[in-house]
Structures are given as structure tokens and as C-alpha cells.
Copies of this chain bind each other. A is one copy, B any other.
Amino acid sequence: MNAEIIAIGDELLIGQVIDTNSGWIGKELNLVGIDVNRSHNVRDRRQEILKTLSESFSRVDLVLMTGGLGPTKDDITKHTLCEYFESDLQMNEDVLGRIRAFFEGRGIKLLEGNIQQAMLPSKCRVVENLLGTASGMWFEKDGKHLISMPGVPHEMKGMMEKVILPELKRKFTGHEILHRTILTFGIGESMLAHKIENWENDITDQGIKLAYLPAPGMVRLRLTIHGSNREEMSNLLQKAETAVLPIIRDYIYGYDDQTLGQIVGQLLKANASSLSLAESCTGGYISHLITSVAGSSSYFRGSIVPYLVEIKAKTGMAHQETLDRFGAVSEETAKEMALGIRELTGSTFSISTTGIAGPDGGTEDNPVGTIWVGIAGPDGVRATRHTFGKNRERNIQMAAQAALFSLRKEIIDTFAQD
């Protein structure tokens, strides 16, 4: 089964809003065995929507659409779909009741625009929106399916998870697609490809497709297999994964959609350990990556972001003498910060960062992009100097990922020795 995705909205084409919906929908469709052929961003113009829709239906039988269902004047999807499916709009009393209840529950006045949202095409099946006021619409005609959903991500996701995906799975089964992604850190794409060349040839012969997906500091290797026997396919992927492990073991840190924040969290939990951070140049970003994970309060004690040099001394993250003698961006300061926060919070492990994120502030000894990462744990403390580029955002990201990758290794090594 193949599908296409159409995301509607001028804001997507002028880059004011990044379309994250289409990617999410693609991923979920894949999990129920539906392949996404293409996805499109189109303007909220009647003619553009109609054209894209009929083009997509010339290629596939299932189209998922997001956007253009809000209560305001710039939304035209509903009227356009009525035209395409030759339907009229009727007041849906059930939906109106839900919209009323939605506003009453929040103590907000119901407005004309919201009432209009209950006017729905008579020829579609209405998909309930539990998280907002724009209903989903499922049209079916001559074996072609069109599912229209609101563009607000959490409303769209709620609808997909509760109603649409389970039903698509029931309706369209047979062909299976499996993916497995191997996450690597600290090796470039070319060198990685060179190391695993023979393995890549072997798995290609077995019908496994390999893709390299680079991101700051890391390369993800995605393995994809198509077929009808899920167990057999899963075994082939498992074999491929096992075969590559000895070749690039030192670079692999996880699998599939795991983040370094989650991986480190699981390791800390499994080893009844805790973490604290003294983040200078990363400015709270590592704390954010750690605390984005649900349940992180069971292993994360806290952090200090001593952004100003004086605050480093004032919070006990570094001695004034060390700062004077070696400077804030130095191995000594990085180590003291890691030790300082570890002692203050009593955590098992700690990370520190200190450096120059840029774009300004570099010196001859420490050009922009110089970042020290310290790691302290039961086995002592060490610090590593990194030299990244000139882009502030990228430097913060790279330093955070490098720090979490080092911490992962430190936790594993610490408990392997015991």
C-alpha cells in the first residue's frame, strides 16, 4: 500500500513554520506497513489543493492531508474538499455539542468562527478531535481514501493514534516494512562507509537497503527491508546488526529513535546512579536534553549554569585562583567545575562544559569553538578539549552531544570494572 501526504499552508512554503507533521505521519504509516511515496507542501489556495490532490490520486489510493481547518478566515481546506468530493456542508450537532463543551470547560466564550467549525461535509465520516475544535474528515470514493486533519501537531497526532492508524492497519495489511537504525558518534560518513564496505555489500545482497544519515557529530545507519514475512525480515536485520558490531563497536551508542539523553538516563537508572551538571558554554542545553526525558527526576539532581566568570567562583564551581591562573576556558577549570557540582549535589557522575560558543569572544589560544568537557565519577575526573567551528548553535549542539557520549562511556567503564 502506498500513500502520499499533503500539508497545506503558505507558512510552510515561506519557511515561517517547519512542517514536522508530514515526517511524523510518514513514520507512523511505515509502522503499519504503508509506504509514503511523496509528500508535498502546498499553498492554501483552492486551485493548488485541487491540483495536488488529483495528481496524488493518480499515483496512490490513500492521501493524508493536514492543515487549513482552523476557525479563522485563512482556512479553506473544508470548502475545497467539498468541491472535490461534490459534497455540501451540514451542521453536525454532535460536533457542535463537543465544541460548546470544549469552550465551556475552559471558561472561554464561544464565537461564530467556532460554530462554523461544526459545519461539516455530508459525504465524509467525521473523525473526532479530542484536543481541539477542528474535526478530521475521512472521504472515500471509488476505492480512494482522503483523510484531512488539522495542522496543529498535537491535535493531528491525537486523531492519528486514536482513530486513523488503527483503522488503516485493519484496512490495508499484507506488505511489511521494517527499519533498524544504528546510531554512531565520532566517525565521519566517508570513513564509516569505508570501514563497513564489505558488510554493506553483504547486506545489500540480502535485500537490505542501507542509508547514511549524518547529523552534527553523528551518522545514523538506517537498514530497511521489505517483504511479507515479518519474522524472517526481523531475523535478517538482527543478523546484519550483529555482523557490523565488531567492526564499529566503539562508535555505536544506540539504536532507532533513542536520544543520548534517554540512553544516558537508562544507564544511570540501571546502575542506581545520579547525575549533575555544571554547564557554562552549553548554557543549560544539556540539562534540557536530560530533563526532556520523562522520569529524569529519579536520576537527575540538578545543574548550575555559571555563565558569568564570577558566578563560577561564587557558586563554588571553580576557585578564583584557578580562574586567574589558567582562565575560565581551561582543563583545570573544567575539572574543578565537574568536581564542584558533583560534591555539591552528591551525584554519582557529573559533566562540566566551559568554552567559547561564539560567534565572538575567541582569543589566539582559545579560538571560537574551543570547548572543554569535564566528566567526574567514582573513578576520578578528566577533561577533553574539543575544537568545533564558528556557528554558535552548532557548537552548543556538538558540545552537548560530545559530553553525553563521553558520559555514556564513563558510566559503562565504571560499572564494567566492578
Give bound CA distance, A360 to B13, whole Å. Answer: 38
Give bound CA distance, A73 to B52, whole Å. Answer: 32
- A300 CB to nearest chain B CB (Å): 5
If A74-B211, A213-B17 touch, does A39 touch B41 (CB 8 Å cutoff)? yes
- Asked whether A16 lies within 8 Å of B222 as measured between CB atoms, the reply is yes
Give bound CA distance, A346 to B74, whole Å. Answer: 48
Contact of A222 (CB < 8 Å), options: B11, B36, B108: B11
Contact of A294 (CB < 8 Å), options: B41, B44, B360: B360
Give bound CA distance, A37 to B14, whole Å. Answer: 10
Task: Bits for A314-346, please: 1 = Cβ < 8 Å to B, else 0.
Answer: 110000000000000000000000000000110
- Asked whether A39 lies within 8 Å of B40 as measured between CB atoms, the reply is yes
- Asked whether A211 lies within 8 Å of B10 as measured between CB atoms, the reply is yes
Q: Is A42 an interface residue (CB 8 A)?
A: yes
- A340 CB to nearest chain B CB (Å): 12
Nearest B residue to A303, CB-CB? B305
- A397 CB to nearest chain B CB (Å): 10
- Asked whether A38 lies within 8 Å of B36 as measured between CB atoms, the reply is no
If A43-B37, A284-B303, A307-B301 touch, does A72 touch B23 (CB 8 Å cutoff)? no
Give bound CA distance, A211 to B28, whole Å. Answer: 29
Q: Is A175 an interface residue (CB 8 A)?
A: no
Interfacial chain B residues near A291, Cβ < 8 Å:
282-285, 305, 307, 357, 396
Size category of the A interface is: 35 or more
Give bound CA distance, A187 to B134, whole Å. Answer: 18
Q: Is A198 an interface residue (CB 8 A)?
A: no
If A14-B27, A286-B284 touch, does A154 touch B394 (CB 8 Å cutoff)? yes
- Asked whether A306 lies within 8 Å of B311 as measured between CB atoms, the reply is no
Q: Is A172 an interface residue (CB 8 A)?
A: no
Interfacial chain B residues near A307, Cβ < 8 Å:
291, 296-297, 300-303
Q: For chain A residues 225-284, which have a beta carbon within 8 Å of chain B?
A: 277, 279, 282-284
Interfacial chain B residues near A39, Cβ < 8 Å:
12-13, 40-41
If A38-B41, A303-B305 touch, does A30 touch B48 (CB 8 Å cutoff)? no
Interfacial chain B residues near A285, Cβ < 8 Å:
284, 288, 291
Most buried by B among A19, A181, A291, A344: A291
Interfacial chain B residues near A133, Cβ < 8 Å:
190
Interfacial chain B residues near A36, Cβ < 8 Å:
13-14
Interfacial chain B residues near A224, Cβ < 8 Å:
10
Interfacial chain B residues near A209, Cβ < 8 Å:
74
Give bound CA distance, A314 to B315, whole Å. Answer: 11
Q: Which 5 A-B pairs have the closest CB atoms?
A: A283-B291, A284-B287, A15-B27, A284-B284, A15-B23
Q: Interface residues, chain A, CB within 8 Å of chain B?
A: 9-20, 22-28, 30, 36-44, 48, 52, 55, 70-74, 108-109, 111-114, 133, 152, 154, 179, 181, 188-191, 193-194, 200, 209-215, 220, 222, 224, 277, 279, 282-288, 290-292, 294-297, 300-308, 311, 314-315, 344-345, 357-361, 391-394, 396
A–B complex contacts, Cβ < 8 Å, 22 sampled: A10-B224, A11-B213, A14-B23, A15-B22, A17-B213, A37-B48, A39-B41, A72-B190, A108-B188, A108-B190, A111-B190, A113-B194, A284-B291, A288-B288, A291-B357, A291-B396, A294-B360, A302-B308, A303-B307, A304-B315, A305-B305, A315-B315
